[in-house]
Chain A
């Protein structure tokens, strides 16, 4: 728990220190590809949640599933 607290504090400090004067490096008119539905880590939550569940109950590892849920809030 202490490690997670430290990580959260560090991330928060980095975020705050960088808040001022950052120019978006990808302009709004350059975002067509990123806004495409295929650019989604979890396009179908109901299906991805089931997929995560299949592995969670058969593997020792849990959490940080990455892009789709189940790892936290679903224990």
Chain B
């Protein structure tokens, strides 16, 4: 979980603790129910086993994710996550510039939370490995609860070191470093409304492009009937600095349901700016079912060195034809279902759930053409695709 998510969960658990203390001797205690959150403001002890699946644009990705968290109920809590992406790709880039491939990425991450009074410190490490990319990331954050436990401020820093190679060109032996400065604020605004503000400044330095991708360049810019080729590798700047700021509201509706509204603004020195809006509605039914429905919209401008077609191989210092750097929009709708397996704690298990989530995502590109059939962008359709994203998982709390 990111620092913001962890802070928001700790804030909720802190509120539970103060509420429990306030009503412990009153009839309201019966209404609140049996408390099982004895971990104070440390995150709850739980384990999740998830299977994920993505299918869209000729790319299929699936695999497991296992997350286990355990603490001493007082000061220390640790978590371990194992995650796999099994990738089978015949994307539009692969079809136009290469041949379909299969790949596997494995990620291990671990973190330790240490709680002292109203302060929580977290240190973590993540290792990601695939045949042509290894990444080591270290992170540290500190969260402070204040103002009668209605406010939590989190500061975080992470540093990543990547090694990049190529499965087709043994000469590629590159590296990239990443730094991320994070600050977030979780705030109780009223007895029904929460606010989460998040800011990230990220800097990247080193080899930032994909070693397999090429730009599309005219064979002869002086020939009006010229075709184009993918013979020129992309050229990227060696640094990138970005800023992202988001505001998220979570509102408790009068009939026990919640509504989340989020907005994020993003800008970087590659000239990409982006807006993201997302909405989620959560509705419990009976004592054992929980339903979520949600929608998300995203749009971005293109990087200043991106083009669908270049006139010459040396047209400019930096040249890219990565559709993630083009101008595009995507939007998604989805739902989630959670079923609580236990009416009451059994053995060492306090709670157990089965969960299913499904999202459908549509991507529409404004200046990235589908030239897989040959020809120039002017004669080719603008690229678009949709994707099915699923998650099935079980969770237990203990």
Say if the beta carbon of B4 comes within 8 Å of chain A. Answer: yes
Secondary structure dominating the interface of A: loop
| 17 A-B contacts (beta carbon < 8 Å) | A4-B201, A8-B155, A11-B185, A28-B22, A37-B12, A38-B282, A40-B8, A41-B248, A41-B260, A54-B389, A67-B5, A68-B4, A69-B1, A69-B4, A70-B2, A73-B139, A73-B180
- One of B67, B126, B298 near A73 (C-beta < 8 A): B126
Is the beta-carbon distance between A51 and B181 smaller than 8 angstroms? Answer: no
Is the beta-carbon distance between B194 and A51 smaller than 8 angstroms? Answer: no
- One of A18, A29, A69, A72 near B19 (C-beta < 8 A): A29
Residues of chain A from 48 to 71 with CB closer than 8 A to chain B in the complex: 48-52, 54-55, 57-71
Provide the residues of chain B in CB contact with A73, threshold 8 Å: 2-3, 124, 126, 137, 139, 141, 156, 158, 180
How many Å lie between the Cα of A52 and that of B83 in the bound state? 14
Measured as residues with beta carbon below 8 angstroms from the partner, the interface class of chain A is 35 or more
Is the beta-carbon distance between A28 and B191 smaller than 8 angstroms? Answer: no
Bitwise, B10-51 to A at CB < 8 A (1) or not (0) is 001001101101110010100110000000000000001010
Report A64 CB to chain B, min CB distance, Å.
4
- One of A11, A33, A46, A62 near B153 (C-beta < 8 A): A11
Provide the residues of chain B in CB contact with A5, threshold 8 Å: 181
Measured as residues with beta carbon below 8 angstroms from the partner, the interface class of chain B is 35 or more
- One of B31, B155, B200 near A71 (C-beta < 8 A): B200
How many Å lie between the Cα of A2 and that of B165 in the bound state? 32
Report A51 CB to chain B, min CB distance, Å.
7
Report A32 CB to chain B, min CB distance, Å.
6
Report A75 CB to chain B, min CB distance, Å.
5
Is the beta-carbon distance between A64 and B264 smaller than 8 angstroms? Answer: yes
Is the beta-carbon distance between A39 and B135 smaller than 8 angstroms? Answer: no
Bitwise, A2-25 to B at CB < 8 A (1) or not (0) is 011101100100010011001111
Residues of A within 8 A of B (CB): 1, 3-5, 7-8, 11, 15, 18-19, 22-52, 54-55, 57-75
Q: Which residue of A lies closest to B283 (CB)?
A: A38
Provide the residues of chain B in CB contact with A38, threshold 8 Å: 252, 256-258, 282, 284, 290
Across the A-B interface, give the 3 residue pairs with the lowest CB-CB distance, nearest first: A69-B2, A24-B148, A63-B200
- One of B31, B246, B284 near A64 (C-beta < 8 A): B246
Is the beta-carbon distance between B325 and A60 smaller than 8 angstroms? Answer: yes
Known contacts A35-B32, A62-B242, A64-B245; 19 additional CB pairs below 8 A are: A3-B243, A7-B183, A27-B22, A34-B194, A41-B5, A44-B48, A48-B5, A49-B2, A58-B324, A59-B274, A60-B324, A61-B242, A61-B244, A65-B4, A66-B198, A69-B1, A71-B182, A72-B158, A75-B180
